[in-house]
Structure 1
Amino acid sequence: MQPSAKALLLATAILAGPIPARAETPTDPAPADFAHCLGALKTLAEERGVPRTVAETALSGIAPDPSVVPATQSQAEFVKPVWEYIEASVTPERIATGQAKLAQWSEVLGRIEAAYGVDRHILVAFWGVESNYGAALEGAGIRPVVPALATLACGDPARPGLWREELVAALKILADGDADAERMRGSWAGAMGHTQFMPTAFLRHAVDFGGDGRRDIWHSVPDALASTANFLKQSGWRAGEGWGLEVLLPDGFDYRVADETTERPFAEWQRLGLKPANGAFPDGAERRAALLLPTGAKGPAFLLEPNFRVILRYNTALAYALTVAHLSDRLRGAPGFSRDWPRTDRMLTTEERTDLQTRLAALGYPVGGADGKIGPKTRAAIRAFQEAKGLVPDGYADAALLDRVRAANAPAP
């Protein structure tokens, strides 16, 4: 997957509030400024315990990577309609290859399941989404991690602290001997290996499952998958439970209960008239889920179990998490979604989403920040506006809603 949002959107709870908007547009650092910044980064790394020789070797003589700063503005998870993002990864070829990988690595996956309690289909789905089962690791978008992170640390004024932390972590990996500069290659944001770990995540969660003394997420499939399982387990993965399921809503459904954060027992959702789109609700009176409508009343509906929150901690983009979840289902042989997406609707641009948030806030509906990303707080504000205007309160942000909000926000003649 190119690129992963994990560097920009660190571990958060399910559908947490939107990230604050950037105050400035990132720019490539000038050569003199970059050289000065590199000196400060070497000092910071040494203060954080990186041997000076490691920092000097890794950072001396590098130049800014001109491709990484523009990439911060165009993450596919946030600019594509959700169905386009999902369908780009959940293809017949990706499903077939994933099923072949499940068979090829069955013994290893069994041992990983036993050690970490994470379902193999979820692990292989992460692998498929992040790197197309390793096929993308030699692609055009793969580059040396240290220069990319140094460029971001020196050229992205909105998040320099984040990039500095990732760069120092990358230098620690070099110092620990888990990788050398040639091996340490990744995405523009520094995400590395088969399942695209950021350097800080590597230090916390990577494991040597192959037993060769090195945590090698670049070349060892067992290390990469076990490291991902360890990340998920440490993030709260519940063994024996799924991520959730698609559901069908009854006629006359009260969309106000689809607030995507309030968890109810499956038995209660059943009393409200929800039915599984395929299969059955999970057993267990203690199992609970929240209802999500990514495209409102017009598209598929999902009951999300706590494990879905864990997927979001890997990458907080809703489209990403649904992609991993859906691919895992397809790998185990489940059908596609039973209800189609509203493909004829015009999706809002980032600027329009920011405008919508700004106008809703001006009308007294708190959105949690105007950042152009429609999160749970914005959807709650939309539902409140819709209910006040006699509309279906499904929280769906499309061009028609923006027109309504603009009209309500317009000054009196």
Structure 2
Amino acid sequence: MRFSPAPALAAAFFLALTVTQPVRADFHSCVAGLATEAEAHGVPAQVAEAATANLTFNPDVLQAERSQPEFTTPIWDYIAALVDDERVADGRAAIAKWGHWLNVAEQRYGVSGSVVAAIWGVESNFGQNFGNKPVLQSLASLVCSNSIRPSYYHREFLAAMQIVGEGNANPANFNGSWAGAFGNTQFMPSTFLRLAVDLDGDGRRDVINSVPDALGSTANYLHRSGWIPGLPWGFEVKVPPGYPARDSWRASKQPLAAWAGRGFTHINGAPLSGEGAYGLLLPAGPRGPAFLVSRNFNAIFSYNAAESYALAIALLSDRLRGHGPIVTPWPTDDPGLSRAGRREVQRLLIQHGYDIGGKIDAVLGHKTQEAISDFQRRSGLKPTGRASQSVLTALRSH
């Protein structure tokens, strides 16, 4: 479970702020105070002192806090990169390997194994990328600086110290995201303490080294978030012509019969039928794809409070079960790229003499975006820095 920001309006306000925030001058004394608090919460003094002795401030986490892709990336780019054929193939291979434990988790908690697998795929690419930022350093930097939610990170730091104190993580390799999320499915420390489970029965809760524990813990999280066994997360629908979409939204859930009465159908034209209440989700506005979503979509949303994130998980889970991609095109004339397409953009930029600031990995960092902007400018395109189909086409033709 990754960091979830404040409500959208506040997030938009803070994203507009400069990312250059001054670190507190007393960083080291701040960290010393955190160590003392950890001891008061039961962390052995020697452990607390050793874990915090060499912590340094990392300004990168402040910039990351204010540029989360769920809120700064067009939905068609976000979905294109997270729900691509490569991730579907990797996910089916992961399910084939770990299907027994996914079934155990589903039987125990009632949560669809394909949804748990989809979270695993999006959060760590099925265990291939846990994040490389030391959890304690990241959280201390966010606590002892002008971050958006210092009290939130304060609680998470103390929870992380408790995890270390209990022997469930070694500070030497306790790494994760900029916000302190860690392990196969990126649990925040406090979430780990509340909801992590020992699914493999070895006597330890370990979401880093034990895939079964990570899958079981994620299923338990969704179960505790209100997951209803057997209820679909939702599905793509065809909106009747002239429907006043502004009058409906995801939280206003109604029986399928009510939606059918307004002229809604499945995207293939089949009539709506079934139990449960659903709300209307229009992630790109009335001209884009439309979905009716249930309380199970809300449970996914709780994992990382962004509709784009929840939709990516939901759509990937469908693909892992053999369903096809969504039918309605996104309302853009310049579609987003899969990770394979992004890697090709990076390769071609290098061939054109650009420095992308790192390896070819489909991660579009600042240097890659600068290179794209310069190439767009030189090619007569609007310099957005966005890796899109038009950029890839232009790079191929030059």
Q: Given the alignment of the two structures, is residue 168 of structure 1 paired with residue 164 of structure 2, yes or no?
A: no
List per-residue Cα deviations over 1:197-217 (Å, max 9, x = no partner).
010111111111111122111
Residue 134 of structure 1, CA deviation = 0.9
Cα distance in 2 for residues equivalent to 1:180 and 1:280? 54
Cα distance in 2 for residues equivalent to 1:295 and 1:148? 33
Q: Given the alignment of the two structures, is residue 9 of structure 1 paired with residue 12 of structure 2, yes or no?
A: no
Counterparts in 2 of 1:297 and 1:77: CA distance versus 1, 3 Å? same
Q: What are the within-5 Å matches in structure 2 for residues 173-212 of structure 1? A: 173-212=163-202
Counterparts in 2 of 1:104 and 1:312: CA distance versus 1, 3 Å? same
List per-residue Cα deviations over 1:295-332 (Å, max 9, x = no partner).
22210001010011111110011111110000001111
Residue 30 of structure 1, CA deviation = 4.9
Runs of 5+ consecutive residues of structure 1 not aligned to the other structure: 11-15, 347-413
Among 305, 309, 318, which residue is 1:329 paired with? 318
Identify the residue that residue 410 of structure 1 maps to in structure 2.
none
Aligned amino acid, residue 232 of structure 2? G
Moved more, 31-40 or 146-155: 31-40
Aligned amino acid, residue 297 of structure 2? F
Secondary structure at the counterpart of residue 298 of structure 1:
coil
Counterparts in 2 of 1:178 and 1:313: CA distance versus 1, 3 Å? same
Aligned amino acid, residue 65 of structure 1? N
Cα distance in 2 for residues equivalent to 1:26 and 1:274? 44
1:25 and 1:157 in contact (8 A); partners too: no
Cα distance in 1 for residues equivalent to 2:160 and 2:206? 14
Residue 61 of structure 1, CA deviation = 2.1
Secondary structure at the counterpart of residue 171 of structure 1:
helix
Higher relative contact order (CA 8 A, sep 6+): 1
Residue 280 of structure 1, CA deviation = 5.6
Aligned amino acid, residue 132 of structure 1? N
List per-residue Cα deviations over 1:89-141 (Å, max 9, x = no partner).
1111100111111111121111111101000110110011111101113xxx5
Which runs of at least 4 in structure 1 moved beyond 3 Å after TM superposition?
16-32, 278-285
Identify the residue that residue 380 of structure 2 maps to in structure 1.
none
The TM-score with structure 2 as length reference comes to: 0.79
Identify the residue that residue 235 of structure 1 maps to in structure 2.
225
Counterparts in 2 of 1:145 and 1:127: CA distance versus 1, 3 Å? same
Identify the residue that residue 264 of structure 1 maps to in structure 2.
254
Secondary structure at the counterpart of residue 96 of structure 1:
helix
Cα distance in 1 for residues equivalent to 2:249 and 2:119? 27
Q: Given the alignment of the two structures, is residue 84 of structure 1 paired with residue 77 of structure 2, yes or no?
A: yes
Counterparts in 2 of 1:281 and 1:169: CA distance versus 1, 3 Å? farther
Secondary structure at the counterpart of residue 215 of structure 1:
coil
Among 33, 39, 52, which residue is 2:45 paired with? 52
Counterparts in 2 of 1:254 and 1:207: CA distance versus 1, 3 Å? same
Aligned amino acid, residue 342 of structure 1? P
2:257 and 2:273 in contact (8 A); partners too: no
Identify the residue that residue 93 of structure 1 maps to in structure 2.
86
2:24 and 2:145 in contact (8 A); partners too: no
Q: Given the alignment of the two structures, is residue 318 of structure 1 paired with residue 307 of structure 2, yes or no?
A: yes
List per-residue Cα deviations over 1:159-182 (Å, max 9, x = no partner).
111111110000000111111112
1:26 and 1:156 in contact (8 A); partners too: no
Q: What are the within-5 Å matches in structure 2 for residues 117-128 of structure 1? A: 117-128=110-121
Identify the residue that residue 251 of structure 1 maps to in structure 2.
241
List per-residue Cα deviations over 1:66-97 (Å, max 9, x = no partner).
32121112111111101110110111110011
Secondary structure at the counterpart of residue 106 of structure 2:
helix
Q: Given the alignment of the two structures, is residue 38 of structure 1 paired with residue 31 of structure 2, yes or no?
A: yes
Identify the residue that residue 283 of structure 2 maps to in structure 1.
294
Aligned amino acid, residue 181 of structure 2? A
Give the fraction of aligned pairs with identical amino acids, expressed as a percent.
Answer: 45
Counterparts in 2 of 1:31 and 1:341: CA distance versus 1, 3 Å? closer
Residue 25 of structure 1, CA deviation = 5.0
2:135 and 2:180 in contact (8 A); partners too: yes
1:28 and 1:64 in contact (8 A); partners too: no
Cα distance in 2 for residues equivalent to 1:331 and 1:30? 44
Secondary structure at the counterpart of residue 219 of structure 1:
coil
RMSD: 2.3
Residue 156 of structure 1, CA deviation = 2.9
Cα distance in 2 for residues equivalent to 1:278 and 1:98? 26
Runs of 5+ consecutive residues of structure 2 not aligned to the other structure: 336-398
Residue 54 of structure 1, CA deviation = 2.1
Secondary structure at the counterpart of residue 189 of structure 1:
coil
Cα distance in 2 for residues equivalent to 1:236 and 1:180? 33
Moved more, 89-98 or 269-278: 269-278
